[in-house]
Amino acid sequence: DLFAHEPERHPAFKINSAKPFNAEPPPLLLIDKFLTPNALFFIRNHLPLPKIENVDTFEVEIRGVGIERPISLKLQDLQKRFKQHTITSTVQCAGNRRSHMRQFREVKGLNWETSAISNAEWTGVKLADVLAYADAKEDKVGHVLFQGLDTDHDGSPYEASIPAETAFDPRRDVMLVYKMNGEEIPIDHGYPLRVIVPGTVGARQVKWVNKIILSEIESQSHWQQNDYKAFNSSTDWHNVDFSKAEPIQEYPLQSAICEPKDGITYKPGETMTLKGYAWSGGGRGILRVDVSTDGGKTWHTARLNQIQQPRNRTWAWTLWEVALPAPNEKGEITLICKATDTSHNAQPENAEGIWNLRGLIHNAWHNVKVTVE
Ligand code: MTE
Ligand code: MO
């Protein structure tokens, strides 16, 4: 059994797949703290966990085009030779909120609700510093590939890539991290070393990374080529051509209501407290979160809880909260949230124009139905 050595996980998780393990925390616990506790951070594993025998001998190898002499660095080397940085960065799976896209029309993939997203403080070194140390020549490189220690039945490892421009730019804050919220990274999140690519979909933020390969072309892995791509809404399995689409890198604008849950009952006029998160990829911050209690006819602006991060380097999510009276008329009402980011991007009203066969990057207005009685 390849899954015989899996750790214990938080009992509150909603498990979307047991082997490999994929789980999300309950919405209320997700937004309880600005930094998601390690034990509650959503888990997205494509493969069985790798066995980490001995961290003292663990090394990450850096090689490829633009590097004359490949280098291998132990954890202690990373910690000794490079400046240490700590950043707060949100990780969101491209499949987050797939369950809502599925309600619109069937899609393939794990049934994530609103919690395939979490926020942590990551400590490690900048990839740009490591590439400079390896004397890598950026002009020769198209893409930087990351390989994990987890492998498929045929022995091929999890792999993904990002454009060289992102990897080499110190302002993009791509990091090789060895700490999560000040603690050792849990095995589920990439112990002993993981890549953080702020503002980018989770799939590129390779866990258990032990090879960094500079290449003219993108990773040829399944996850880079035949998954994590979006198509127009008239493309289905009979006419899809994965080679014709770009892999998803930066995340679009997202927001969701985490409280209340669907089906809650309020008395007429009772205060309803709505809470949730908002986040945009590419370092765009959140300007505003608007909430409606009448299905989108009128809007109220929520109070934002965010941290100060540099312009265009806003990697952490925003939590939001607003208290509004329940209407006096009895019946079912629809609560909606939508966010605006610093580029004034807006979320689409529904899934109609963004539906895609894998149910990826679903970011339509999130709604919750509650009853007044
Ligand atoms: N890295 C490896 N090695 N193996 C994986 O299965 N899953 C990716 C990414 N990195 C994955 C990986 C995906 S799709 C996501 S969304 C994030 O890890 C999830 O990170 P988390 O499990 O720490 O939340
Ligand atoms: Mo993902």
248 lines ligand 1 (CB under 6 A): no
What pLDDT does 188 receive?
A: 98
Tell me, in angstroms, the distance from the centre of ligand 1 to residue 48's CA: 12
Domains assigned to the chain: 14-244 (3.90.420.10), 254-372 (2.60.40.650)
Atom from ligand 1 closest to the CA of residue 41: 24
Atom from ligand 1 closest to the CA of residue 148: 3
Q: Quick check: 317 and 35 in contact, CB under 8 A?
A: no
Residue that the structure tokens 């205060």 belong to? 271
Nearest CA to ligand 1 atom 14: 203
Ligand nearest to the CA of 98: 2
Nearest CA to ligand 1 atom 12: 206
What pLDDT does 160 receive?
A: 98
208 lines ligand 1 (CB under 6 A): yes
What pLDDT does 4 receive?
A: 86
Torsion angle (degrees, nearest 10) of CA 319, 323, 329, 331: 30
112 lines ligand 1 (CB under 6 A): no
Nearest CA to ligand 1 atom 17: 202
What pLDDT does 5 receive?
A: 84
Tell me, in angstroms, the distance from the centre of ligand 2 to residue 44's CA: 6
Tell me, in angstroms, the distance from the centre of ligand 2 to residue 68's CA: 33
What pLDDT does 58 receive?
A: 98
Ligand nearest to the CA of 150: 1
Tell me, in angstroms, the distance from the centre of ligand 2 to residue 323's CA: 33
Tell me, in angstroms, the distance from the centre of ligand 1 to residue 347's CA: 25
ipTM: 1.00
What pLDDT does 2 receive?
A: 86
Tell me, in angstroms, the distance from the centre of ligand 2 to residue 162's CA: 15
CA separation for the pair 289, 302 (Å, rounded):
6
What does each of the 373 residues of the chain score in pLDDT, given as a tens digit? 888 889 999 999 999 999 999 999 999 999 999 999 999 999 999 999 999 989 999 999 999 999 999 999 999 999 999 999 999 999 999 999 999 999 999 999 999 999 999 999 999 999 999 999 999 999 999 999 999 999 999 999 999 999 999 999 999 999 999 999 999 999 999 999 999 999 999 999 999 999 999 999 999 999 999 999 999 999 999 999 999 999 999 999 999 999 999 999 999 999 999 999 999 999 999 999 999 999 999 999 999 999 999 999 999 999 999 999 999 999 999 999 999 999 999 999 999 999 999 999 999 999 999 999 9
What pLDDT does 113 receive?
A: 98
176 lines ligand 1 (CB under 6 A): no
Tell me, in angstroms, the distance from the centre of ligand 2 to residue 349's CA: 23
